[in-house]
């Protein structure tokens, strides 16, 4: 089995992105925004 990504719904996307980048030493990609669905994410 191979996990490619995990989605986590959060109240403050920017704060959680900063947390994961800092404490897991990862880099976030460009912010993805889908206005019709009011959806934003980072990969």
**CA-based radius of gyration for the chain:** 11
Which pLDDT value is given to residue 19?
96
Q: Name the residue range of residue 22's domain.
A: 1-43
Asked if pLDDT for residue 34 goes beyond 90, the answer is yes
| Contact call for residues 20 and 26 (beta carbons, < 8 A) | yes
User: Angle 37-25-2 (CA atoms, 0-180°, nearest 5)?
Assistant: 65
Tell me the mean pLDDT in the region 16-36. Answer: 95
Tell me the mean pLDDT in the region 18-33. Answer: 95
State how many domains the chain has: 1
- Measuring CA to CA, how many Å separate 20 from each of 4, 17, 26, 43? 16, 5, 7, 11
Which pLDDT value is given to residue 5?
84
| pTM for this model (two decimals) | 0.74
């Amino acid at each position: 089995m191979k996990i490619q990504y995990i989605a986590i719904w959060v109240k403050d996307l920017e704060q959680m992105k900063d947390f994961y980048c800092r404490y897991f030493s990862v880099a976030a990609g460009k912010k993805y925004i889908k206005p019709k669905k009011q959806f934003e994410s980072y990969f």
